[in-house]
Amino acid sequence: MPELGSRISYGGHTGTVRFLGPVAPAPGVWLGIEWDDPSRGKHDGSKDGIRYFTCFRVPGAGSFLRPSASICHGKSFLEALKSKYIEQLHGGQSQETVLLGSSQGTIQVEAVNLDKIRSKLSKLSALREVSFDGEMVAVNDSPGAIGETCPNIRGLDLSKSLIHSWTTVAAITKELPHLQSLSLNQNRLLPAHEPQKLDGCFNSLTELRLNNTLMAWPDIVAVIEVMPKLQDLEIGHNNFTDADLDNDGFYPQQASLQTVKFNSNRISNWTHVCMTLSAYPSLERVILADNQIERIPFPEVQQAWSQLRHLSMSFNRLLLWRDICALAAWAPLLESLALIGNPIMTDYPNNARPLAIARLATLKILDGAAISAKERRDAELYYLTYIVGRGPNSEEERCQEHPRWQELCSSLSSPLFEILHP
């Protein structure tokens, strides 16, 4: 019988075992499953007024299932490795007929000495990149076995596996001393209640992908603390809201983190996410695409995000040009920015780009396109004429609404300065 919290696959769907026991009035043992796909569920863990389990991640994603041989409980890491990367030798055949995959089985060719190729590919110790995406890996192997078999893996994809604990992940990665990139997308991992026990298991890791894992932010913070060289963190599609992003008085010691990808969540408060991420002093690139941010207020004293160089705000809900002026105050060294898909870009299709460029003095790339010196000068000239044409009229109000007004008037040609700034 599976243990509580373990993962299963059944009928093409994956889920977590939340209950094991009888369900009245039916006789025998049942499994209570919280499915990853909530549409597979039938209830929230209760039946006929009796609660048997709780769906922790998505309400209504539960159902009961009889234990059967049709339920897949997964395989070990090395079982998956050998089944995917070792092809059995064909023996004495020097010439074989193979089908070209691109021909959909209509073209056959004769191939010579394929066993030599199979033999080379079967040298697992030479593997650098391994993908087990959807391969149903569930457990590690006996201590030392993974390290002896494939010690040189640099990149490992364990997405959509049946691993349910960070202890299992760490038992695998501990034997991969050169591992730099790890993908755990679409897994459902239990919180690491004693993350200090994971020390030494991720010493070379620089990239971690936890997209669509529905992990809580405090659990992510605790785990990456034991990854001393981590630079890039992907945590998109996790349903984060502003309330979820709270360090709760905990100040992370992760000094190496440079990139965080928060795309496709439900974040709406710019200040809150900035304060959360300001705990990481080396952070230079932040992806907040496809969230729900409507406003960027001007920062208060000591709130500037001085190390930020690259930011994606595409497909949010920014409405006002004042938000872009505020962004310049938050990120005084910003070099690249994505704004496509925001109302301020779609509502001003003919002049949105120059108006954005002129407001951000340090910007070098906007929406993936480099900004030339000529484009910047033209944009800033256009911005000045825009201010004069649209107002406000008083010098004080212009400086307040357009923080670069005096700077641009001073830096551009004298005749223009005299006309626009008499």
Q: What are the pLDDT digits (tens) for 345-380? A: 998 888 999 999 999 999 999 999 999 999 999 999
Domain with residue 46: its CATH number is 2.30.30.190
Instruction: Answer yes or no: is 101 within a domain.
Output: no
Confidence band, pLDDT 50/70/90 cuts, at residue 413: low
Q: Do 282 and 403 fall within a single domain?
A: no
Q: Do 138 and 173 fall within a single domain?
A: yes
- The DSSP call for residue 152 is T
Model confidence pLDDT, tens digit, residues 79-103:
999 999 886 445 555 555 655 555 5
Instruction: Answer yes or no: is 90 within a domain.
Output: no
Q: Do 154 and 242 fall within a single domain?
A: yes
Q: Do 58 and 40 fall within a single domain?
A: yes
Q: Do 369 and 403 fall within a single domain?
A: no
Q: Do 276 and 217 fall within a single domain?
A: yes
Q: Do 337 and 408 fall within a single domain?
A: no
Is the per-residue pLDDT at 26 higher than 90? no
Give residue 418's pLDDT: 53
Q: Do 63 and 133 fall within a single domain?
A: no
* Angle at alpha carbon of residue 377, lines to 372 and 380, rounded to 5°: 125
Instruction: Answer yes or no: is 94 within a domain.
Output: no
Give residue 301's pLDDT: 73
- Average pLDDT of every residue of the chain: 88
Instruction: Answer yes or no: is 100 within a domain.
Output: no
Is the per-residue pLDDT at 136 higher than 80? yes
- Where does a domain end: 72, 104, 128? 72
3-state class (DSSP) for residue 104:
coil
Contact between 301 and 276 under an 8 Å Cβ cutoff? The reply is: no
Q: Do 367 and 252 fall within a single domain?
A: yes
Is the per-residue pLDDT at 287 higher than 90? yes
Look at the pTM and tell me if it is higher than 0.75.
yes
Q: Do 255 and 172 fall within a single domain?
A: yes
Higher confidence at residue 85 or residue 334?
334
Model confidence pLDDT, tens digit, residues 113-125:
555 554 554 588 9
Give residue 57's pLDDT: 78
Is the per-residue pLDDT at 44 higher than 60? yes
Alpha helices (H) along 269-342: 270-277, 321-330
Give residue 91's pLDDT: 52
Is the per-residue pLDDT at 27 higher than 60? yes
The length of the chain is: 422
3-state class (DSSP) for residue 368:
coil
**Domain housing 13:** 6-72
**Cα–Cα distance measured from residue 182 to residue 187, given in angstroms and rounded to the nearest whole number:** 13
Q: What are the phi and psi torsion angles at 396 (to 5°)?
A: -65, -45
Q: What are the phi and psi torsion angles at 222 (to 5°)?
A: -65, -40
Domain with residue 358: its CATH number is 3.80.10.10
Instruction: Answer yes or no: is 357 within a domain.
Output: yes
Q: Do 61 and 132 fall within a single domain?
A: no
Instruction: Answer yes or no: is 93 within a domain.
Output: no
Q: Do 149 and 60 fall within a single domain?
A: no
Contact between 330 and 309 under an 8 Å Cβ cutoff? The reply is: no
Is the per-residue pLDDT at 417 higher than 60? no
3-state class (DSSP) for residue 287:
strand
Instruction: Answer yes or no: is 21 within a domain.
Output: yes
Task: For the chain, give the percent of residues with pLDDT over 70.
Answer: 87
Instruction: Answer yes or no: is 277 within a domain.
Output: yes
- Where does a domain end: 357, 373, 389? 373
Number of domains in the chain: 3
- Where does a domain end: 44, 72, 100? 72
